[in-house]
Structures are given as C-alpha cells and as structure tokens.
Chains A and B, each alone.
Chain A
Amino acid sequence: MADSVGRQSDSINHATGKINRLELFKRKELTKEEKQRLRKEKKQHKKNKKDDRGPPEKEKEKEKASVPAPSKPATQSPAHKAAPVPVNASASESPVAAEKPAKSKAELRAERRARQDSERASKQGKKEGGQQSTSSKPKATPNELQPVVKRLPDHVQVDDPVALKKLAKKLERQQVRQINIVMLCLLSDCCPLTDDGFIQVFSEITLHIPVTVIHPSIVRLGLQYSQGIIAGSNARSVALLHAFKQVIQDYSTPPNEELSRDLVNKLSPYISFLSQCRPLSASMGNAIKYIKKEISNIPSQCKEEEAKRILQECIDSYINEKIILASEAISKYAIEKISDGDVILVYGCSSLVNHILCEAFEKQRKFRVIVVDSRPRLEGREALRRLVKKGIRCTYVLISALSYILPEVSKVFLGAHALLANGYVMSRVGTSQIALVAKAYNVPVLVCCETYKFCERVQTDSFVSNELDDPDDLIVTRNGKTHLENWQTFKSLGLLNLVYDVTPPDFVDLVITDLGMIPCTSVPVVLRVKNVDQ
C-alpha cells in the first residue's frame, strides 16, 4: 500500500525534480540486489562526475552521510578486482580521516549538500528504470539482463594517472604496501611518452606502511608468486586456497562482529597484497569469489569453531572437485582422442596436459611427444623432465623451429590459463602461434581446461590487457658477448616480455573440459549454466 503510494508520488517528483521525504521511506524497502546495484551505479556516476576532486575518502564520508543504508559487507562485488567498495565502514574510516588535510567544516558541508542533491536526482531517474525491470522480472539474478555499468578493473587502467592515484589511496586505506607498477606504453596515442623512452615507471608512490597486518602465510605466498617459485594456473590457485585455509584457521572473530562479514573484510587486504605481488589469474579470481560467497553464506548463529570447520571443508571440496577430479575427468575424455602411433605436440609446461600424457602412457597407448619451448622462460624443459621420467619418447625444439617439426605432428594439445567469454583462449605467450601454424598445416588443436578457469572477461587481442614480465630475462650471453647488456642506457631501445596471449577460437578445434568436449564458442553457455546453479 505504502509502496504504491510511494511509487505514484515518486513519479510526480521525478517530473518536478524535487526531493520527497517519501523517497527516503521507499528506499528502505529495496531488496538486497537493488541496493547493490544502486550502490554500483552511484559509484560509477560519482566517478564520472568528479575529475579532480579530493581523495576518495572524502566521497566515502559523504556517501556514508547521504545514504542511510545499512552497511552491507563487500560480498556484493561480482568480481573481486572490479570494486573498490568501502571495505569496512567503521574500522578504516577513523585512521584515514585523521591524516586528511584540514578543510573548513562549512566548505565540506556545502560540498556534501551539493553532491547529495545531484546524486539523489540522478538516482531517482535510474531507480525508475531499475524498478520497472525488477517488477516485471521478479527473479532477476544479479548478473544478467540489468544495466550493469561495469567498472573497469584497476589493472586495466594503468595508463590513467587518476586511476592510479585512486588505487594508491585504496591500498593505503587497506594498509598494503604498493609495489611499483611498470608499464610499457607501446604505441598508444593517448599515453604520453617520457623522455627516457618506452619504459615508463608509473606511480612511484611507495607507501611506507609496515606489512605486519598481513598474515605470514600470505606474505610467503606473495613472495613465492613474485619470484616465480609457484607458477602455473592450477598451482597458484591451490597454493592460494591452502594459504586461505591457514588464515581461516588462525582467525578469531573480534567482539561485536559477525564472522561472515568480518572475515571477508579481513581477506580483502590480503588479496590486494597478492595482486600487487603478481596480478591475479582468472582461476584465482574464481576461487576467491567462491570463498567469499561461502563465507557470507555462513548462518549468523553458527559458532566460530563450527564455521571454521565448514569453511575448511568447503575449500577442500573445491580443490578436490574443481581441480583434482576435474583433471581425472579431462584425462578420461582426452585419452579417447589419443590413438596408437600418434605424434603429439605440447607447448610449455601445463600440469593438466602432462597429467593426460602420463595417464595415456600408463594405459598403454603408443605415442611420442614433441615438446616445444620458448625463451625466456624455458618452461618446456620442466615438462620434458617429467615426461622423460615416465619413459615417454620425447623430442625437444624451440618455437622458431615449429614450421620444421609440424609436418610430423598428428595432434596438438595445449593448456590454458583462462577461457574468455567470447571463446578466446588465454594462455602462455606463444600458444596462439602454435595454433596458427598448426591450422596452416591442418593439424587438430585441442585445448584442455577445467571449468573453474572460465571467466567472464572478453578480449580480442593480446595487447589490451596483459602481464609484463621482467625485461632483463631477455638478455642472453652467447659466445661471451651480451649485446643487450646495457639496454637501459640506450634511449630508443625497449624490451618487451609478455606473459600471456589470446588465441582466437577459429584456431582451436576442441576444448576438453570436465563437463565434456565442447567447442570454443560454448564457453558463455557453460558460464551461464554455472551461474544458474549457484
């Protein structure tokens, strides 16, 4: 009753543009999804509006003042990296407020009021549209069919100094020390080039905040990532989950806090720290989403020990189901595709592909393997060692000899780092080349990938978003001469060491997943099915 009355008066108000007290009354009746959506839209709106305002703490304060909404935990963010949602309203605001430059209270209040007015006006308009869509579809899931204004993830906006400043402030808020971001500005007109050539070191804002707030197992994990000790999509995810198990074990709920909300807030600075050590992979992102969901689903009357036990079990079952059992299922499907007398080409070191080959060998299939490797990582040697230890006959070449060796090959098996929603396969750099040349020689290309690596991002080439590795790895000494030793002294010389690349779906013939053998273009279908399940 009040709802309908409110809606009518709201429509009148929308016409006149005035603020009505009934609108406040109505706000309390919004569902959880709508609030989440509103908050996201408001954020996007605010970001578009303010160009050179003060640090985002100020807007957070004003947001707190203007929106009397209950502070929901930060579990609403669909992708972890996409939302610098105010982490913990009460806890982190106080230390941050103390270090802001002093402005007169009157000025602050005036600014706040002006902003509130404009926000409310715009929100009314958006809410109208949103309300209609939600009333017509009562069961709208958060992911689909809504005008979600996605916020660009931070790591995509590395060339925008404003976004970088915001990231720095966010990390400062979370008390995570920021590591220098180095970016190669290649051929972008919008990005200014510095005098010292192409390598432009951005954001030399190293914040001297002690890292003691981070759990030691997370610190160790971060170091292992950045040194490359743990490498490979599956290995990184499993290590992450084990570290989180340790964190949960050591966690104790502070008084007056709920475990389901507080634990998630505790995890966020750890995740920021890890992404500073090395950008998160798609598999890690999905794992983190799962954990956060599980944590927020813990019923509030659950005792702490019980909750911890449930979470540990959840993590164990995730690892078991999505990684270990999935690889068993994939091996079973893949072994059907390997026949006697095959010559199989593999690239680099994929744990899944190695597992498949070892299983096939145990099942007495007769085949031989060609391992293709590339500088500077030379991961193929590791795969070579594992296969040779099993007793499989192997040949080893570098990727430049691909055209020579490919006429002998009957099948190509590739691993994947992630499968994007438009069907592109994101994998180690060089994979797309292998697929390209295999296509030219009409050799079938099979990609093996577990479903937990499927992600919602889309990307069409390897340049728009990638990870850069240390350029000094490219320097090599041959015959005692190192030509690139002092490459930094040369102004016009740059070294580019990409980590990933994307393979278009027309090069890939089949994707073998734990759900079965699907074509590359069915990835969004699988994602949709997974979301409906959840």
Chain B
Amino acid sequence: EIHEPEEVSVWFREGSSCCQETLARNQRFTETPVNMPGADKETDLSERIESFLSELKRCGSGAGSLRGSAETARETTALLRRITAQARWGNAGELMEIIRKEGRRMTAAQPSETTVGNMIRRVLKIIREEYARSRGSSEETDQQESLHKLLTSGGSSEDNFRQHFTHLKANVIEAINELLTELEGTTDNISMQALEHIHSNEVIMTIGRSRTVEAFLKDAARKRKFHVIVAECAPFCQGHEMATSLCKEDIETTVIPDAAIFAVMSRVNKVIIGTQTVLANGGLRAVNGTHTLALAAKHHSTPLIVCAPMFKLSPQFPNEEDTFHKFVSPHEVLPFTEGEILSKVNAHCPVFDYVPPELITLFISNIGGNAPSYIYRLMSELYHPEDHEL
C-alpha cells in the first residue's frame, strides 16, 4: 500500500513562496523511499507513477511549459510501457483496465496537458490491435462503429479481450517501442517539409514559443533567407526566447508587442504557429492571442499554417466549457504593486485561446500536410471511439 500524498490543488503562480512550501511538503511524501524488504516491482512502479503525477501537477502552470509536449508524450509512453511490463495482468482486458485507471489519474492531475491522454488512448488502441492480431480475426478492418454494426453485432465487443495470449505482452511492448521511435522523429519529420513551404524573401509571422516551429524555421533557414516577425505574447513573453533563439541562427527576426499584430499583418506573407492541442473538429487550443492572429490573417487573406505533430491530436471537442479554459494567477496581469485598486477590480489571465477550423489553412504534421477538414479522419485512425472517454 502506498501512502497517498495530500492532493493540494496548485493554483498559485509557480514562484510564490507559500506555494513552494506546500509543494515541498508534498514532495517529501512522495520521495520517501519505501524501503520494504524485497522491494517489489510494483512499489517501484507505483513510485514512478506518483512522481510522474506530481511532476505533471507542478509543471503545467502555463508559465511557458517547463518541458515541451514532446517530452511529456515520451515520458507518458515510457511509463505506460513500464506498466505493461511490470504490472500484473492476465489478459488484454485487465491491462486496459489498469491503463485506463492510471490514465484517469494522470489526466486529472493536469487536465490541460492533453498529450498525456492522447498517449494513453494510443496505447489502448495498440493493445486492441495486438489482441485482434493475436486472435487472427478480421476485426482490424472494422474498428469503427457504424449503424450496420450496431444492429448486427450489438454488444458482442464486451466479452472480447478476455482471452489470454502468451505473446501479447511482448507484442504490445514492441508496438509501444515503435510508437516511441515515432515520437522521437516527429520534429524532424515536420522540419523536413519546411523547404516546401518557405521561400526566399518571405515574411513569416509567429506568436509565442513553439519548439516545433522553431525547428521548422531553422531548417528552412539553412537554405533560404527570410524574415520572421515574432509576437511576444504577453504576459509571459515567450516570444522573446523564440526571437533570441532564432536570431542565433542568423534568421532576421523582429519582436513586436501583441497590440501590433494587425498593424503589421499587411506586410506578412505567411503565418506559421504551433499549438498546444488540435481538437477533434480541426480547431486549436493554442496560446492566448492566437485567435486575434488568426482573424487578422483571415482579414488579409494570409495563409495560416499550423505545425503540430500527431500526438497533439485530441478527441476532445471545444464545447466543454469547464475544461477548455485554464487560468493562472492574475498577478501576471495586474501586479500586487498596484495596491489599492486591486481589491475593486477583477483581473483575468487565461492561458489558452480557441481558434475555429475555418481560420486555418493547413496542418503540417509528421505524416504530411492536411486540411483541417481531414482531421476527423486522422483521429479515427489513431484512437478507438470507445477510448474517447477514459
């Protein structure tokens, strides 16, 4: 039995001292080495899960991700592989139950970090596929629900996954390894397409900081000469880091404040942005200010290109009001030094923006370029519909 640490909902800004204290207390609970004689693989596994959860809770404060989504995805997948290897399960159904349970805890720890949920769904789909292949059935082909299937088969999918196969574990682990390799190569795959889209003497606009876009632009800069305008994206100003990193590769960069986005847009040829999540309808959940950027690009008929790897594709829809927006401390917006007016004023600091799919021209992902209207199809290939709700 593991002593469950107190769940402290962290909603203060990362740097405030009282918050640090609470977190330190939390950490002490998790890092206590459980030196039981004959330390089980299970306890080791649970420890790792707990530490992963606490890291998720800590780093997702929206203060420009302390680690990128790619890392999170990789760590999640590695953790799931470990669970597959070390947890006790007899058949595919039990394994899926375990993964689902852990998955629910992980997504609850940081609801805005959707890559965790996406990876879990991918692994679940892998398990289904491997199971189906082991059974040798033709179920690989008709994974989707259709009215016809509902009528004819009805409820037969429930008692699947109870059969035991000896090689299932090895197959699943091998498939997860493949997934990991794919994850490692996503940024390179996206950057390889850069030269098709960026030409000489173009002016490209971007907002905030995205590692994918950074790699994309740097790859194009090796052969072409162009100019980049970075909107700094207050209040966290991640745009500044992006600009310094780009200009070190001798890319001509200009930093503008958010208010000048529309003013400058008349001179821009393309807008290339990254995003936090790609939603199921082809819309985006991106850093705040992106919707304004997209509207300005639409007004000037400038193409808006989104560089997003496939692991950011999430089966969520944007209508869920309570889970869509995330807020951080309004101290960023109206600091405590303003004193007397603080008590009489509401200040908001949302982190994300919703960008509807009509404003997007192209998605560039590791499997190539797609229109926003195609996203639903890609999603059905990656995730099984029953896994959309963990």
Contacts and interface: CB of A to CB of B under 8 A. Distances in A.
Interface of A: 186-187, 197-198, 374-376, 381, 384-385, 388, 393-405, 428-430, 432-433, 436-437, 440, 461-463, 466, 474, 476, 478-479, 483-484, 487, 490-498, 501-502
Contacts of B5: none
Nearest to A504: B299
Interface in B48-97: 63
Interface stretch (B185-193, B305-313, B333-341): B333-341
A402 B244 contact: no
A4 B338 CA distance: 77
Contact of A495 (B237, B250, B255, B344): B255
Contact of B353 (A388, A399, A403): A403
Given A484-B243, A484-B255, A490-B247, A395 B234 contact: no
A312 B354 CA distance: 57
B253 A374 contact: no
Given A376-B257, A394-B346, A400-B233, A493 B247 contact: yes
Q: Across chains A and B, which 4 residue pairs bring their CB atoms closest together, nearest first?
A: A430-B259, A400-B289, A374-B259, A462-B263
A467 to B, nearest CB: 12
Given A429-B260, A478-B236, A492-B251, A400 B292 contact: yes
A509 B352 CA distance: 29
Contact of A399 (B246, B251, B258, B338): B258
A247 B234 CA distance: 44
Interface string B288-329: 110110011001000000000000000000000000010000
A187 B203 CA distance: 8
Contacts of B229: 496
Contacts of B344: 388, 393-394
B373 interface: no
Contacts of B263: 429, 432, 461-463, 466, 498, 501-502
A396 B203 contact: no
Q: Which of A385, A403, A479, A490 has the most CB of B within 10 A?
A: A403
Contact of B227 (A187, A397, A487): A187
Contacts of B243: 483-484, 493
B240 interface: yes
Interface in B186-233: 203, 227, 229, 232-233
A492 B261 contact: no
B133 interface: no
15 contacts: A186-B267, A197-B252, A381-B338, A384-B345, A395-B348, A396-B346, A398-B235, A400-B235, A430-B259, A483-B241, A487-B255, A492-B247, A492-B252, A493-B244, A495-B254
A395 B291 CA distance: 21
B258 A375 contact: yes
A474 B229 CA distance: 14
Main secondary structure of the interface of B (DSSP, over half): mixed
Given A462-B266, A493-B247, A388 B341 contact: yes
Q: Which of B63, B234, B263 has the most CB of A within 10 A?
A: B263
Category for how many chain B residues contact A: 35 or more
A404 B348 contact: yes
A483 B240 contact: yes
A495 B229 CA distance: 9
Contacts of A385: 341
Nearest to B237: A476
Contacts of B338: 381
Contacts of B345: 384, 388, 394-396
Given A395-B346, A495-B254, A433 B353 contact: no
A388 B262 CA distance: 30
A484 B255 CA distance: 10
Given A466-B263, A498-B264, 19 more contacts: A186-B254, A381-B334, A397-B333, A398-B235, A400-B233, A400-B292, A401-B348, A404-B288, A404-B348, A433-B292, A440-B295, A462-B266, A474-B232, A478-B236, A483-B244, A484-B244, A494-B253, A498-B256, A501-B260
Nearest to B15: A479
Contacts of B348: 395-397, 401, 404-405
Contacts of A495: 254-256
Contacts of A463: 263-264, 266-267
Nearest to B227: A187
Contact of B234 (A400, A428, A490): A400
B248 A496 contact: no
A305 to B, nearest CB: 50
B328 to A, nearest CB: 11
A398 B258 contact: yes
A499 B259 CA distance: 10
Interface in B93-114: none
A433 B291 contact: no
B23 interface: no
A437 B257 contact: no
B296 A433 contact: yes
A502 B107 CA distance: 45
Contact of B292 (A376, A402, A501): A402
A398 B292 contact: no
Q: Which of A381, A396, A405 has the most CB of B within 10 A?
A: A396
Given A198-B252, A403-B291, A492-B252, A375 B296 contact: no
B292 A437 contact: yes
A385 B244 CA distance: 35
Contacts of B368: none
A26 B241 CA distance: 71
B369 interface: no
B325 A492 contact: no
Nearest to B261: A433
B277 to A, nearest CB: 16
Nearest to B253: A493
Contacts of A430: 258-260
B34 interface: no
Contacts of B251: 492
A463 B232 CA distance: 19
Given A401-B288, A404-B353, A375 B252 contact: no
B258 A400 contact: yes
A396 B234 contact: no
A511 B121 CA distance: 54
B234 A375 contact: yes
Given A405-B348, A492-B250, A429 B259 contact: yes
A398 B255 contact: no
A314 B235 CA distance: 47
Contact of A403 (B267, B292, B341, B346): B292
Contacts of A437: 291-292, 295
Contacts of A401: 288, 333, 348-350
B347 interface: yes
Interface in B253-283: 253-264, 266-267
B376 to A, nearest CB: 24
Contacts of B266: 461-463
A493 B255 contact: yes
A187 B347 contact: no
A487 B241 CA distance: 11
Contacts of B296: 433, 436
A374 B241 CA distance: 19
A375 B259 contact: yes
A476 to B, nearest CB: 5
B234 to A, nearest CB: 5
Contacts of A376: 257
Given A374-B259, A375-B258, A400-B234, A187 B346 contact: no
B295 A436 contact: yes
A501 B232 CA distance: 18
A478 B338 CA distance: 17
A425 to B, nearest CB: 13
Contact of B334 (A396, A494, A497): A396
B257 A497 contact: yes
B333 A398 contact: yes
A394 B341 CA distance: 10
Contacts of B248: 490
